[in-house]
A and B are shown apart, each in its own frame.
Chain A
């Protein structure tokens, strides 16, 4: 396994073929994290298990994106998104996350399964700018309406590019641009 490169600005960049895997229960508490997760986030298994997944949430992430994620997962569909995660030492790493519901033999959703892959640099630049605008919107107002505005900003951005959310994210991941 190739080592990740740690940049001066506190960013850890994933290697091409690395997978960060975790599982949560229906309430979002971590039930499993693979070793790469622990090593990059800087937490031990004991520190992670039964903790809410937002233990690694970075303040630069807009709340509207998480709201969209939960809405998508609860409708039984998979979610794609670029996510900036926080390490225990204050550094961060960007990933392209794919979250799917874990469905057992009887068709019941047991939890969620998240696989994170390396995100292309050009896509990160584009998304970081969008997220920053969304975070500013969310910070300026208060409560639910500011998240609505932030979500509207995201929708507006998608409309400008004439794409739906998921095709846009997949295209960004595959080609690094829209």
Chain B
């Protein structure tokens, strides 16, 4: 049906092949940097330092990836991957939990100071960590949280976006459900756990995808607070692999690390594409 409607307007035949050709060209251009990084991660340093480097993969895949994962430059990349995973999951799960709780309180209770709290949370929308780095760094240092997972996670956890998203969603839950729960004598937390959370699971999943990427891709904050290489995250650790001074960077290791750094978020985005698109639209609008 849709195809027929479409057919009324669009030319078929040659036109459609041109359209595909344009699209493929676009995809190739967009993909080129990733492809080149992959190729560089499968050849030797000698192949790269005498330009032009090859544009098809070589046979050093296992050698380079093993070297990166288990030795790295300052610290094994496996360690950095683990740190990134803890940080990304910590931020995603932490944000979702505190936002679910506070949105539930704001929507389902009338308590003194409710409006004030609502606006306080709203204001945090306006304060990206990049803007308040120096004082936030001092706070975290004061708590002794430098080089710790707490320090990586907590300052990035409080955000109004998730709270607003859940608030909007809770407002659409039929009042009859809360009423029935009250008539049955269910406590608020029972209602929260048995009804509200299960009904929100699609929103939770969509938000998880977005927040995981957000946490994984953080750069400035880990750069400031993880002075110990053992605590580096992979995204900030790549830059640390470049030698200072005039030496050649070891490109195969660096590019293997770059590929490893993009695999987890790419898997999350591609495998949960529908949720991801939905999460994007929900969290931005």
| Chains A and B form a bound pair | no
Q: Which residues of B contact A (CB under 8 A)?
A: none
